[in-house]
């Protein structure tokens, strides 16, 4: 038999939770302009990195337009340089003496018009190149392609989801927590988790975020946990949670194995009298417990030696001998 001392312990509120593994970065990607799919460069399940092309649209007409704009701009730049040369030449010979003042003003106007044309064509060229770039759909972040919804030759439009991308490395545990536990959340709160329905042991998670807004329908708030090792988790998994909340209150606790329950509803514990080395049964009243402990509200005082193991066959007044924390029965 094994004994322990009944001692006051801080009462822990143990809350069971059901949650979901969520990714911080989940996106359904679409193109910015309409067009026909010319190349598909990913399949469902592929891992991609930020900037990697996923889809390409047919861009032949856009490329021809950009080439034309480039040629027009080169022509405009040449015309601007010629206008600048003619204006410099007019100024060098002396306006009003060897060349009329109106001619100098006309050449100044011609240069300004040339510069404006270059600026307009430069803007048009940048716009054309931007439209050309938009014929490629690229990954905005590292992730896994979980869904692909278009094939080569299909016509697609902005807003149509072509690819669903999920960041596999930025996973969080999202738990809806009843609102009554919000005041108990503090620095000493502890969150454990395990995959729902699995045989894995409980693992520790860091409480990363507590959203201070309550859902008006379910009366719950969001608690988000962060894990250091997410190799066993996938986005969308169901996860059990165990939230340990210190209450700031103390109560007398004993091991669950020390409590005897009877069909008539009685609950008792066996205690050891150190002076006479005999055992006695005490009727107790219980409150909610936590971990492997139960809280006693009546029937026992702090410091009592409670028998934890080997208490199934004891009788009142039985004399025992304690040896290294173990109580062994002797014939009385």
**pLDDT at residue 276, rounded to an integer:** 67
> Residue 72 class from Cβ within 10 Å (0-12 exposed, 13-18 middle, 19+ buried)?
middle
**pLDDT at residue 68, rounded to an integer:** 96
The full DSSP string for 155-196 is: EE-TT---EEEE-TTSEEEEEEEEGGGGGG-STT-EEEEEET
**pLDDT at residue 38, rounded to an integer:** 95
**pLDDT at residue 138, rounded to an integer:** 95
> 3 versus 51: which is more confidently predicted?
51
Q: Does domain 26-57+135-166 have CATH number 1.10.10.10?
A: no
Mean pLDDT confidence for 242-250:
86
Q: Is 61 helix (H, G, I), strand (E, B) or coil?
A: helix
Tens of pLDDT, residue by residue over 254-306, are: 888 888 888 888 888 888 877 667 888 888 888 877 777 888 888 888 888 88
Instruction: Give Cβ neighbours of residue 76 (< 8 Å, ≥ 6 apart).
Output: 114, 117, 118, 121
Predicted structure pTM score: 0.66
| Token code pair at residue 146 | 């979980």
Tens of pLDDT, residue by residue over 76-130, are: 999 999 999 999 888 888 766 678 888 888 999 999 999 999 999 999 999 999 9
Mean pLDDT confidence for 129-140:
94
Whole-number percent of the chain with pLDDT over 90: 52
| Token code pair at residue 14 | 């143990």
**pLDDT at residue 322, rounded to an integer:** 60
Where helices occur in 22-100 by DSSP H, the ranges are: 60-93
Q: Does domain 11-24+170-249 have CATH number 3.10.20.600?
A: no
Question: Is the pLDDT at 323 greater than 60, yes or no?
Answer: no
The CATH classification number of 2-9+251-329 equals 2.40.420.20
Domain layout of the chain by residue ranges? 2-9+251-329, 11-24+170-249, 26-57+135-166, 60-133
């Amino acid at each position: 038999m094994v004994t322990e001392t009944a001692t006051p312990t801080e009462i822990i509120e143990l809350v069971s939770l059901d949650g979901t593994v969520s990714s911080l970065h989940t996106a359904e990607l679409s193109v910015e302009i309409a067009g026909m799919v010319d190349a598909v460069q990913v399949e469902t399940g592929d891992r991609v990195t930020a900037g990697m092309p996923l889809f390409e649209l047919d861009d032949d007409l856009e490329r021809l337009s950009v080439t034309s704009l480039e040629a027009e701009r080169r022509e405009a730049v040449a015309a601007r340089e010629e206008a600048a040369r003619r204006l410099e030449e007019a100024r060098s010979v002396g306006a009003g003496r060897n060349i009329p003042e109106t001619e100098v003003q006309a050449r100044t106007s011609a240069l300004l018009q040339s510069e404006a044309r270059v600026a307009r064509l430069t803007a048009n060229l940048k716009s054309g190149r931007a439209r050309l770039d938009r014929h490629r759909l690229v990954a905005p972040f590292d992730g896994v392609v979980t869904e692909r919804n278009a094939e080569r030759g299909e016509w697609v439009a902005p807003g149509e989801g072509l690819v669903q991308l999920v960041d596999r490395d930025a996973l969080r545990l999202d738990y809806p927590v009843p609102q009554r536990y919000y005041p108990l959340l503090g620095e000493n709160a502890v969150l454990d988790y395990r995959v729902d329905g699995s045989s894995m042991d409980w693992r520790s998670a860091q409480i990363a975020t507590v959203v201070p807004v309550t859902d008006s329908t379910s009366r719950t708030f969001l608690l988000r946990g962060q894990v250091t090792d997410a190799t066993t988790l996938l986005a969308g998994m169901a996860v059990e949670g165990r939230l340990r909340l210190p209450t700031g209150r103390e109560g007398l606790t004993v091991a669950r194995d020390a409590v005897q329950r009877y069909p008539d509803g009685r609950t008792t514990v066996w205690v050891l009298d150190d002076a006479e080395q005999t055992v006695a049964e005490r009727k107790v009243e219980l409150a909610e417990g936590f971990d492997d402990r139960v809280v006693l509200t009546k029937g026992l005082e702090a410091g009592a030696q409670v028998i934890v193991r080997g208490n199934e066959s004891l009788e009142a007044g039985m004399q025992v001998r304690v040896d290294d924390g173990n109580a062994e029965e002797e014939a009385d």
